[in-house]
């Protein structure tokens, strides 16, 4: 391919991504707000969407759209806490209403906005538009927006036609599509076309629709709608993005087919971009958006945007470094056929992409992502999987700049550092029944049981220099509280909680010892938390469910009791899955048999907390709020690579007693205050006040939300 053809292909991919987002914004977002009778207009809209679907390529493109529809059906009506795509819209709806609308209703509302085009039959939106939840929410919003115009399907259809006309005229006026992505990211082009409709003066624009007036009155902008879509993409992996790209391709073929040549008079549709290409383009979009927003964002929001960009880059590198590996089942055991050369070549591709994306990411203040290679074994009916990890392969990957190698099979993932093993190693994964696992508990299980084992030279490996990440798939989240899910290890027929992070229908955790693991919904009930439930109840539930905070007895949490230095060290080490296998401590007041000894050892070795002296840790001393802030800030630096506060002065000035904060603690207090992890009360921080167990639970919950 020559340079001109290569640039043309890049432009086509940018164009495709943009049209996917534009199509989703115009149809998915705007048609979602229908109300009233919908029978006749739906037939007309169904015909239009069906026309787009006829341009989908059979196989991959039709498949990814079907996958997206299934993903949306799974998400709809579930707990909204695992996503954030409704945040901006919800905030403006709440402000306009003068009271918070039901968050779950807004979640469902925005999900339908952003997924409308994945069902050409429109059955999903028809069903949703007839629900009481939808009717009540739209009626409330219309009332609070003080809009008397009808807001029904015909009204919204008219708005869509106006948006399409305005957008297409903008697109067609451009000499090149190189900048279409920039127009979306930098709030021009598509965004300004929609905003012009929202901001039109009704007195001079009689065609202004009722839904446009509602959006305008509530302060909802085209940027909000587009950001909502991008946030949904970021929170659902590649399913939604792949569908948007497929529909974008189809729409593009329908309105402007690729030019033909004299020797080939029939236009050939451009194949859909691969998932690595899609992920890469998304990462570039998010970084560009971050760069555009940096100047106008407060420090706390900057951190959130940087994290979103970091996640997108991480996903792009992971997709690029993924190799599909053929599996053969022999005697009930799945064994992959691994081609070292193919995997190393994938690593080189991932490294090139990582260098490019990380350069832009760091320029925008983000943390560069590591290079990871994944051996994707797909799905297998075998309960046992045996994966050889060749030392030569691991060394070659390390030489290419690869930090970790992941193995995935049947949704189960194991990620190890490339420098972990000194010889050829075999990873064994076995799915077990409850009876085989030895679990005798009645705690609800939301995954299968899996046993993990690493062996080398026929010997089991029990010591690891760096933690190994385990990922288990959740069977069904419909009836469970995903915040209370924890990965548990079966130890002597009992469950030992190790927490974990729920994301994309799986829970992952870092471990340094292996046995049989399962995901459980761990509801821990306390009968003495009523006095703090309004501000700490949920945090206590989550921290206890993940084994981060233990009760003080059966049904007893003791929320007003002091937190000791040893207790908070344990909370942080557990929350962030920190390990230091070679670390030792020599404090005279910490015995090897003390329950807190391993946590103190790790926390001290990682620099999260120091002893009172070389020989004393003072484990049972209560911690002050400024001490808690310092330990939390150091954990952020160690576990998440956080820098200091963006604007320490402003963060501290929010507290009228900031002068009372010790010099040694101020930087840490500024960081956690800026991140919203620790707040004051009545305008004060109270640096020397003693931390209670309820307060510690709130801090821990906010910390794990950042992971």
How do residues 104-158 score in pLDDT, each as one tens digit?
Answer: 777 777 777 667 677 777 667 667 777 777 777 777 778 888 888 876 655 665 6
* Integer CA distances (angstroms), 392 to 37, 400, 418, in order: 66, 13, 11
Is residue 661 domain-shared with residue 570, that is, in the same domain?
Answer: yes
- pLDDT at residue 645 in the model: 83
Residue 312 lies in a domain: no
Contact yes or no for 20/245 (Cβ under 8 A):
yes
Tokens at residue 457, please? Answer: 């030279």
Which of the listed residues 498, 521, 544 is the one where a domain comes to its end?
521
DSSP state of 85: T
pLDDT for 63: 76
| The pLDDT of residue 267 is above 50 | no
Residue 65 domain-assigned (yes or no): yes
Query: Please, how many CA atoms are within 13 Å of residue 522, restricted to the half-sphere of its CB?
Result: 26
Write down the pLDDT at residue 344: 92
337-395 pLDDT per residue, tens: 999 998 998 899 889 888 888 888 888 888 899 999 999 999 999 999 999 999 999 99
Count Cβ atoms below 10 Å from residue 117 Cβ, excluding itself.
Answer: 25
Measure the CA–CA gap between 458 and 324, rounded to whole angstroms: 27
Comparing 102-106, 163-167, 399-403, which segment has the lowest mean pLDDT? Answer: 163-167
Average pLDDT, the chain: 80
**In terms of domains, do 486 and 439 share one?**
yes
At 399, which CATH number? Answer: 2.60.220.30
Q: Which residue has the tokens 């020397």?
A: 688
**Boundary (domain end) residue, out of 521, 546, 572:** 521
Number of H helices, E strands in the chain: 26, 16
Measured CA to CA in angstroms, residue 151 lies from 154, 251, 352, 691 at distances of 8, 27, 51, 52
517 and 539 co-located in one domain: no
Residues 6+ apart with CB under 8 A from 90: 101, 103, 106, 107, 110
Q: How confident is the model at residue 691 (pLDDT cuts 50, 70, 90)?
A: very high
- With a cut of 50, say whether residue 266 has pLDDT above it: no
Quick check: 9 pLDDT over 50?
Answer: no
Q: Are residues 143 and 248 in the same domain?
A: yes
Do both 41 and 94 map to the same domain? yes
Question: What pLDDT sits at residue 488?
Answer: 96
- Domain count within the chain: 3
| Claim to verify: residue 507 and residue 549 sit in the same structural domain | no
Examine the domain organization and report whether 8 and 152 are in the same domain: yes
Residue appearing with tokens 């030792």: 584
Domain encompassing residue 165: 3-259
* Residue 195, in any domain of the structure: yes
- Whether 444 is in a domain gets the answer yes
Q: How far is C-alpha 380 from the chain's CA centre?
A: 27
Within this chain, do residues 411 and 538 fall inside the same structural domain, yes or no? no
Q: What pLDDT band is residue 454 in, cutting at 50, 70 and 90?
A: very high
How far is it, in rounded angstroms, from Cα 438 to Cα 491? 9
- Report phi then psi at 582, rounded to 5: -95, 0
Distances from the Cα of 222 to the Cα of 4, 143, 186, 349, angstroms: 34, 21, 12, 36
Considering the domain architecture, whether residues 507 and 605 belong to the same structural domain is answered as: no
Could you give the percent of the chain with pLDDT greater than 70?
73
By residue count, the chain amounts to 707
- Per-residue pLDDT tens over the stretch 471-509: 999 987 777 899 999 999 999 888 999 999 998 899 999
What pLDDT, on a 0 to 100 scale, did the predictor assign at position 209? 79
Q: How confident is the model at residue 164 (pLDDT cuts 50, 70, 90)?
A: low
Inside any domain, residue 276: no
pLDDT at 60: 65
The answer as to whether 275 is a domain residue is no
Pull the structure tokens for residue 493: 């027929």
Whole-number Å distance between alpha carbons of 644 and 651? 11
Q: Is residue 284 part of a domain?
A: no
Confidence of residue 641 (pLDDT cuts 50, 70, 90): confident
Kindly provide the b/e burial profile for residues 321-343, where b requires at least 16 CB atoms within 10 angstroms of the residue's own CB: bbbebebeeeeeebbbebeeeeb
Q: Based on the fold, state whether residues 497 and 640 are members of the same structural domain.
A: no
Q: Are 371 and 343 in a shared domain?
A: yes
Any domain includes 437:
yes
Are residues 600 and 502 located together in one domain of the fold? no
Residues 6+ positions from 330 with CB-CB distance below 8 Å: none
What pLDDT sits at residue 217?
A: 85
Instruction: Please give the helix or strand (H or E) that residue 72 lies within, else none.
Output: helix 60-75
Last residue of a domain, one of 213, 241, 259: 259
């Amino acid at each position: 391919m020559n340079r001109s053809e290569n640039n043309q292909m890049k432009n086509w991919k940018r164009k495709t991504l943009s049209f996917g987002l534009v199509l989703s914004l115009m149809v998915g977002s705007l048609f979602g707000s229908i109300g009233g009778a919908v029978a006749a207009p739906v037939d007309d809209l169904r015909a239009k969407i069906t026309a787009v679907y006829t341009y989908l390529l059979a196989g991959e493109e039709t498949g990814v759209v079907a996958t997206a529809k299934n993903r949306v059906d799974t998400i709809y009506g579930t707990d909204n806490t695992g996503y954030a795509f409704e945040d901006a819209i919800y905030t403006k709806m709440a402000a306009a209403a003068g009271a918070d609308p039901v968050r779950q209703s807004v979640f469902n509302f925005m999900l339908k906005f952003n997924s409308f085009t994945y069902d050409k039959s429109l059955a999903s939106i028809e069903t949703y538009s007839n629900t009481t939840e939808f009717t009540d929410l739209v009626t409330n919003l219309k009332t609070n927006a003080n809009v008397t115009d009808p807001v029904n399907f015909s009204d919204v259809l008219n708005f869509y036609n106006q948006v399409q006309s305005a957008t297409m005229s903008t697109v067609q006026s451009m000499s090149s599509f190189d900048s279409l992505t920039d127009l979306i990211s930098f709030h021009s082009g598509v965004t300004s076309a929609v905003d012009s409709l929202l901001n039109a003066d009704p007195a001079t624009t009689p065609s202004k629709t009722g839904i446009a007036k509602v959006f305008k009155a509530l302060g909802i902008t085209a940027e909000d709608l587009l950001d909502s879509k991008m946030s949904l993409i970021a929170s659902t992996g590649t399913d939604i993005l792949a569908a948007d790209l497929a529909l974008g391709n189809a729409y593009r073929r329908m309105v402007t087919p690729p030019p033909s040549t004299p020797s080939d008079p029939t236009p050939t549709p451009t194949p859909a971009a691969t998932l690595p290409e899609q992920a890469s383009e998304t990462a570039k979009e998010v970084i560009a958006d971050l760069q555009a927003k940096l100047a106008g964002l407060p420090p706390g929001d900057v951190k959130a945007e940087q994290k979103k960009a970091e996640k997108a880059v991480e996903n792009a590198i992971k997709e690029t470094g993924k190799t599909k590996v053929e599996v053969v089942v022999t005697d009930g055991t799945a064994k992959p056929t691994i081609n070292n050369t193919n995997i190393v070549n994938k690593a080189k591709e991932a490294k090139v992409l990582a260098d490019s994306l990380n350069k832009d990411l760091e320029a925008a203040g983000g943390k560069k992502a590591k290079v990871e290679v994944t051996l994707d074994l797909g799905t297998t009916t075998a309960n046992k999987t045996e994966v050889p990890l060749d030392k030569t392969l691991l060394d070659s990957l390390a030489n290419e700049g690869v930090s970790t190698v992941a193995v995935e099979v049947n949704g189960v993932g194991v990620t190890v550092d490339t420098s972990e093993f000194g010889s050829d190693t075999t990873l064994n994964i076995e799915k077990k029944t409850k009876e085989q696992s030895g679990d005798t508990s009645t705690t609800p299980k939301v995954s299968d049981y899996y046993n993990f084992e690493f062996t080398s030279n026929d010997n089991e490996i029990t010591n690891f220099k760096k933690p190994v990440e385990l990922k288990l798939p959740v069977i069904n989240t419909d009836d469970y509280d995903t915040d209370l899910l924890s990965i548990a290890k079966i130890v002597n027929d009992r469950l030992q909680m190790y927490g974990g992070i729920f994301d994309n229908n799986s829970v992952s955790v870092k471990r340094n010892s292996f046995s049989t693991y399962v995901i459980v919904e761990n509801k821990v009930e306390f009968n003495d938390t009523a006095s703090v439930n309004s501000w700490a109840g949920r945090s206590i539930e989550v921290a206890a469910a993940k084994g981060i905070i233990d009760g003080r007895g059966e049904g007893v949490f003791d929320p007003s009791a002091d937190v000791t230095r040893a207790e908070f060290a344990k909370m942080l080490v557990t929350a962030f899955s920190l390990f230091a296998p070679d670390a030792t401590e020599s404090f005279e007041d910490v015995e090897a048999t003390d329950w807190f000894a391993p946590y103190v050892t790790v926390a001290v070795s990682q620099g999260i907390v120091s002893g009172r002296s070389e020989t004393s840790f003072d484990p049972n001393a209560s911690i002050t709020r400024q001490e808690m802030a310092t330990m939390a800030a150091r954990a952020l630096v160690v576990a998440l690579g956080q820098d200091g506060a963006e604007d320490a002065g402003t963060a501290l000035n929010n507290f009228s007693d900031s002068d009372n904060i010790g010099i040694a603690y101020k930087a840490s207090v500024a960081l956690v205050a800026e991140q919203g992890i620790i707040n004051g009360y009545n305008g004060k921080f109270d640096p020397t006040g003693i931390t209670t167990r309820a307060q510690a639970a709130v801090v821990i919950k906010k910390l794990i939300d950042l992971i």
